[in-house]
Amino acid sequence: MFKTSIIIPLSTRETLHNIASNVRIEGVNVWEVPVISYRRDRKLLDRIFDTLNKLEKVTSIFTSKTAVEVVGEALTEKPHLADKILKNVIAIGPYTALKVKEVAFTFSLNPNVKIPPRHTSKGIINLIKQSEEYVIWCSKHVNEELKEHAKRLNCILAPIYTPILNIKNLKHLIREALKYKLRYYIFTSLMSVKAWKTMLKLKYN
């Protein structure tokens, strides 16, 4: 269907690379232009780590690969928490699960990772049990349904990073999209949809 088309994925650099690698197998020409980066909330991370020190057992829920990256970076300074945080995990999808295993490997851990049948917040909600302790590692733009469910079950909600749009790259996409009349885009998250809306505003203003 898309063999002569150009698709521009709107996401972070690592997610772009994973998508592009798979799509190119189908003969599609893919441009990798990351338009989303992130800023981690170091103070919140420290507070949550202090809370986890007091818990005997916890299941970590990762809503994105970026959440795994942020936690992994922070654990290099507090490796004693790696086993507790990475031992039992629910990952929103296979790429997030793979990232969990990569990070866990750096701490010589072999995590038990579950992936919901539906790779969505709803899929995660269906796996949460009321009798267990959970910490949900996510972005500041976490799905509202998941946030409300976390509150009802007293889960620890950890919005540890804020997605940031790269306006320079967005403007580059606009120029190239107009030049080559690009028709197909890949949206990997709600934030990538926001990037698209910002891109349209820049285009017509």
Summarised one tens digit per residue, pLDDT across range 73-130 is 999 999 999 999 999 999 999 989 999 999 999 999 999 999 999 888 888 888 888 7
Give the C-alpha separation, 60 to 123, whole Å: 15
Q: What pLDDT is attached to residue 110?
A: 95
Tell me what the mean pLDDT of segment 155-164 comes to.
91
Q: What is the pTM of this model?
A: 0.75
Q: What pLDDT is attached to residue 3?
A: 41
Residue 1 has pLDDT above 80, yes or no: no
Output the average pLDDT for the chain: 81
Give the C-alpha separation, 111 to 113, whole Å: 6
Residues of 22-34 as b/e, b for ≥16 C-beta within 10 angstroms?
Answer: ebeeeebebbebb
Q: What pLDDT is attached to residue 4?
A: 40
